[in-house]
């Protein structure tokens, strides 16, 4: 059995991974049930009226499960009050109690709600980062302690028919797991399976598993490893998908769609939550649209089904970019390039603002934006002398042997490439489609970029199989994916692009993007590259979606921090409502802004606290000063 089929049933089409069906109140999960949509309240659990009101708003927009934090026994008990009020108001939505550090709260909540979520790194486990080496005996002793501490919750769940999610988060792993696996996808899977093993020893199987991370690459690989391990041992538990701390706006949506979308394309996932630093009601339409775009649209090509029996290239469990030759500045280790399309006789060659270039007539010079295309494809004659010097121009060539003295980079078709006699010495871009790649004679086109013209979505499986086939045939040509997006709204364009293209970037298969259709294609292209860590062009914000534990206005604070620091590309800043979502869940952030008490903030450099319990009114400025002290600050472009 090849590597891919260990976690997915097919590479040529989306076939959902078979799982057992579990009961969560009156809405079952897994098996043949539809993919369920869920979210989490952001209110104080002790504020019954606010929590009930927000829960009802979530249900009204299509939320099927609502998670509520239970940080202590009082909050856990109040879940019964909340549930009763919802029932009186005609709402029967299943509730999920979110548990971290308080096993006694879990024992209370499990008697009330339909499901409890625990984090293995926090629940009856050591997470003080004090012991880094465990002998086998010490490791075994910790597992015995874990068994004794976790078993009481299992017994209550069995008695009351309560389901459980074992929800692992990257960066909040126990000392024991970190000592053996490090902060890795392998460690995340090991942490989950320890708890699964205990549940199975107690004959309890009403389980859902999750592997969340703010980095989609880590998240995707952790879920794939988990699916592989579960299926290898015939454990058909449903999976809850989500990118934790995804952030807000376009960035949050892209990161979520890349991570969740890639796994949905693999046939993984039985319930999803899109975590945005926005009102939770706004998460539901995004999640529903993402499922509809991927699950209800299938990319099936019968002519390519046979390819799935071949061994796929590496990169599915461990990130590895496809090895390519460098052609011009594409491939060969260069960051993926972004292409824009400027076509039509009415185009003004000096109006390139939508491509990231602005002509200043008074100075007779071009100004390049932070986000600007690397290549511009055109079907009209552009005077090269008046265009930006750093902008390469692509133009379709009508002949099989493009003029070697042309001022443009020629783009030819597959049929033209077949007529190359002898091999072209000048770099070419060759426009092909997934079904034509096997027709190419690579000896005739050694210095070429392949433009994989995938057309309109869905195309994920066709494109992936085509690139795998190229690799198997020994091709090291760089690949630029070209697609046309034609959906009604900007948000749908964003979700469709991220859901179709994200997995190809996550697996290291692309050397460039050429997206047509959306007005904001430039921001979308760079956003996709940023979310997959393929090309960093922006500040990255690892921002939690808030919940009842949050100790400040997360949305307002996040906006202020973004306004001060969004001109620092490559810097990663975690913005967390409380310590539960603190240094652990912002594992790869450079700096952290974490609520530590009412009106109090702690600032982190990496996972080390630098300023503890400072007044909230001073915290943003102190964060900026910390970045300055470390020599990572630059003034904004428009500052004086």
pLDDT of 94 higher than 70: yes
HEC string of 144-182?
A: HHHHHHHHHHHHHHHHHCCEEEEEEECCCCCHHHHHHHC
- What average pLDDT score do residues 589-618 get? 84
Exposed, middle or buried: residue 314 (CB in 10 Å: 0-12, 13-18, 19+)?
Answer: middle
Q: What is the pLDDT of residues 183-217, one digit of tens each?
A: 899 999 999 999 999 999 999 999 999 999 889 99
SS3 category, 537? coil
Classify residue 14 by its DSSP letter: -
State how far the Cα of 635 lies from the Cα of 354, in Å rounded to an integer: 25
Q: What is the pLDDT of residue 402?
A: 52
Q: Are 244 and 222 in contact (CB under 8 A)?
A: no
Percent of the chain as helix, strand, coil, to the nearest 5: 35, 20, 45
Determine contact, residues 488/519, Cβ cutoff 8 Å. Answer: no
- How far apart CA 605 and CA 593 sit, in angstroms, is 9
pLDDT digits (tens, 9 = 90+) for 341-391: 988 655 566 788 999 999 888 888 888 988 999 999 987 776 655 788 888
- Compute the C-alpha angle 578/544/610, nearest 5°: 50
Q: What percent of the chain has pLDDT over 90?
A: 51
Taken in order 22, 24, 25, 26, the sign of the CA dihedral is negative
pLDDT in tens, 403-457: 554 668 889 888 887 766 655 567 889 999 998 887 887 777 888 999 999 999 9
**Helix (H) / strand (E) containing 208:** strand 207-212
pTM (predicted TM-score): 0.90
Is 440 in contact with 420 (CB distance < 8 Å)? no
Residue 4 contacts residue 12 (beta carbons within 8 Å): no
Distance between CA atoms of residues 186 and 226, nearest Å: 9
Q: Please name which of 503, 509, 531 lies closest in space to residue 8, comparing C-alpha atoms.
A: 503
Which domains occur in the chain, in start order?
Answer: 4-303 (3.20.20.20), 337-531 (3.20.20), 540-629 (3.30.413.10)
Separation of alpha carbons 615 and 294, rounded Å: 45
- Report d(CA 276, CA 23) in Å as an integer: 27
CA distance from start to end of the chain = 62
List C-alpha distances in Å: 211 to 141, 242, 289, 496.
Answer: 25, 8, 22, 23
DSSP conformational letter for 438? G
The single-letter DSSP state of residue 320 is -
């Amino acid at each position: 059995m090849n590597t891919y089929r260990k976690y997915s049933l097919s590479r040529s089409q989306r076939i959902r991974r078979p799982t057992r069906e579990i009961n969560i109140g009156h809405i079952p999960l897994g098996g043949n049930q539809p993919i369920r949509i869920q979210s989490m309240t952001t209110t104080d659990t002790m504020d019954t009226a606010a929590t009930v009101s927000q829960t009802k708003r979530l249900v009204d927009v299509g939320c099927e499960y609502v998670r509520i934090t239970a940080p202590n026994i009082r909050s856990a008990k109040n879940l019964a009050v909340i549930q009763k009020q919802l029932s009186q108001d005609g709402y029967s939505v299943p509730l999920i109690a979110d548990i971290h550090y308080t096993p006694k709260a879990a024992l209370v909540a499990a008697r009330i709600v339909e499901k409890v979520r625990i984090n293995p790194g926090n629940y009856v486990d050591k997470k003080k980062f004090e012991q880094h080496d465990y002998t086998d005996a010490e490791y075994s002793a910790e597992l015995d302690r874990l068994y004794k501490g976790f078993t009481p919750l299992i017994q209550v769940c069995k008695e009351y028919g309560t389901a459980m999610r074992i929800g692992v988060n990257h960066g909040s792993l126990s000392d024991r797991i970190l000592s053996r696996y490090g902060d890795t996808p392998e460690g995340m899977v090991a942490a989950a399976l320890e708890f699964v093993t205990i549940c199975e020893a107690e004959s309890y199987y009403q389980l859902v598993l999750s592997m969340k991370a703010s980095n989609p690459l880590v998240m995707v690989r952790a879920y794939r490893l988990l699916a592989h391990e579960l299926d290898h041992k015939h454990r058909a538990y449903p999976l809850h998908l989500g990118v934790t701390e995804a952030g807000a706006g376009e960035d949050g949506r892209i990161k979520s769609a890349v991570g969740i979308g890639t796994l949905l394309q693999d046939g993984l996932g039985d319930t999803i939550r899109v975590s945005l630093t926005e009102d939770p009601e706004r998460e539901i339409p995004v999640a529903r649209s993402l499922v509809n775009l991927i699950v209800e649209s299938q990319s099936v090509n019968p002519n390519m089904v046979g390819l799935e029996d071949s061994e796929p290239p590496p990169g599915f469990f461990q990130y590895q970019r496809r090895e390519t030759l460098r052609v011009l500045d594409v491939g060969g280790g260069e960051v993926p390039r972004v292409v824009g399309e400027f076509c039509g006789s009415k185009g003004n060659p000096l109006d390139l603002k939508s491509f990231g270039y602005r002509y200043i007539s008074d100075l007779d010079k071009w100004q390049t934006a932070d986000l600007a295309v690397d290549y511009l494809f055109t079907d009209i004659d552009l005077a090269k002398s008046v265009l930006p010097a750093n902008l390469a121009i692509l133009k379709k060539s009508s002949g099989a042997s493009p003029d070697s003295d042309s001022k443009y980079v020629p783009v030819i078709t597959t049929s033209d490439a077949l007529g190359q006699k002898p091999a072209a010495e000048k770099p070419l871009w060759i426009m092909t489609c997934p079904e034509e790649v096997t027709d190419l004679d690579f000896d005739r086109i050694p210095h070429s970029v392949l433009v994989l013209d995938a057309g309109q979505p869905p195309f994920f499986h066709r494109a992936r199989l085509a690139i795998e086939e190229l690799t198997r045939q020994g091709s090291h040509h760089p690949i630029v994916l070209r697609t046309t997006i034609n959906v009604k709204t900007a948000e749908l364009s964003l979700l469709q692009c991220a859901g179709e293209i994200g997995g190809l970037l996550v697996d290291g298969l692309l050397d460039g993007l050429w997206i047509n259709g959306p007005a904001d294609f430039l921001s979308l292209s760079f956003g996709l590259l940023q979310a997959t860590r393929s090309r960093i062009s922006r500040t990255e914000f690892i921002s939690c979606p808030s919940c009842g534990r949050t100790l400040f206005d997360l949305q307002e604070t996040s906006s202020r921090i973004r306004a001060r620091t969004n001109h620092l590309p490559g810097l990663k800043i975690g913005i967390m409502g409380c310590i539960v979502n603190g240094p652990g869940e912002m594992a790869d952030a450079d700096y952290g802004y974490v609520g530590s008490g009412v009106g109090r903030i702690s600032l982190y450099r990496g996972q080390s606290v630098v300023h503890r319990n400072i007044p909230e009114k001073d915290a943003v400025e102190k964060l900026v000063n910390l970045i300055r002290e470390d020599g990572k600050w630059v003034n904004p472009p428009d500052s004086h």
